[in-house]
Chains A and B, each alone.
Chain A
């Protein structure tokens, strides 16, 4: 048990370090006027968040966070900066209302966590409900040799639940992504088409352009 105690201590130290860095990055971003550097720091924030999720045994969330948060959304923000301004407007004096709203919301969130079970608590709701759990439903009770292999028998229970038991849900999510893509095409591409069409063949400008 001494070895596991040592690893636990090391994990806790890494978690504390990561969370401290997350906090420091967030405060730095909030205080920064140089938007270019702030965008880069949001990428750093995403990578730190991904590392933390890896410690929480959620590798799939971790690499989604790394790819979307640090990769794609950083690019999108940089592309937006390229079209707008690289510097934030100077703050227009102290406003008390946003501060009060943030403090009240923060206190409410902290108050909410008091009701939550501790991390890894075996008596937590997610471990007690539903019964039989979806892990047993999916893969069968591995401790019971007489039990069947379950309904799906896939090692990755998350995939089994998302794609099968909650297939409608995932279908809806995919539709949301499709809608987002269609929205981007409709909003952002129209302009390029009207302004960019006469560009490619230069001769078309004289002959009235393509039909």
Chain B
């Protein structure tokens, strides 16, 4: 699709806002609609749009497959790690109240970190699925 000038320029204009909106949904998820899953999907959609218009090679340079594949596990580890830190601080697994000096602040912190983990995993999985599907060619 590299020779469609309108498509290319509009995509270039849109992608920063899509990624920014993804980050907004991620970090504003405690106060407005959204959360990790939605943010991850929106963020991944930005990268996928880039790959569709500028070619899968360009998308791979932006989000190298080995890094993205490791991020799948990193996101889940952040989630599990938050739970384990809570245990080390004397609470139950995934009990956020003990993470900060004040139970409410602890809850805020725990939810923010956990949602970040969800967002990273979801975005990485979506991008990986995109690469896997787009990288395949007709075998017959």
CA distance A8 to B104 in the complex (A): 39
Task: Answer yes or no: A83 CB below 8 A from chain B CBs.
Answer: yes
Q: Which residues of A contact B110 (CB under 8 A)?
A: 163-164
A63 interface residue per 8 A CB criterion: yes
Q: Give 7 A-B contacts (CB < 8 Å), ordered by A residue.
A: A59-B34, A67-B38, A151-B104, A156-B31, A159-B29, A159-B115, A171-B83
> Across the two chains, which residue of chain A brings its CB closest to B131?
A189
Q: In the complex the two chains form, is B111's CB within 8 Å of A178's CB?
A: no
Least Cβ–Cβ distance between B40 and chain A, in angstroms: 9
* Residues of chain B contacted by A71 (CB below 8 angstroms): 45, 48-49
Known contacts A63-B34, A79-B134; 4 additional CB pairs below 8 A are A60-B34, A71-B48, A75-B130, A155-B32
Q: Is chain B's interface secondary structure helix, strand, loop, or mixed overall? A: helix
Is B126's beta carbon under 8 Å from chain A?
yes
Is A156 a contact of B33 with CB atoms below 8 Å? Answer: yes
Q: Say if the beta carbon of A191 comes within 8 Å of chain B.
A: yes
B contact set with A: CB distance below 8 Å: 25, 29-38, 41-42, 44-45, 48-49, 52, 69, 72-73, 75-76, 79-80, 83, 94, 96, 103-104, 107-108, 110-111, 114-115, 117-118, 121-122, 124-126, 128-130, 132-139
Query: Which residues 152-183 of A sit at the B interface, judged by CB distance below 8 A?
Result: 152-156, 158-160, 162-164, 167-168, 170-171, 173-175, 177-178, 180-182
| Residue A72 CB within 8 A of the other chain | yes
A72-B45, A152-B108, A184-B129 in contact; A60/B35 too (CB < 8 A)? Answer: yes
Q: Roughly how many angstroms separate A81 CA and B139 CA in the complex, as a whole number?
A: 13
**Does B80 contact A171, Cβ atoms closer than 8 Å?**
yes
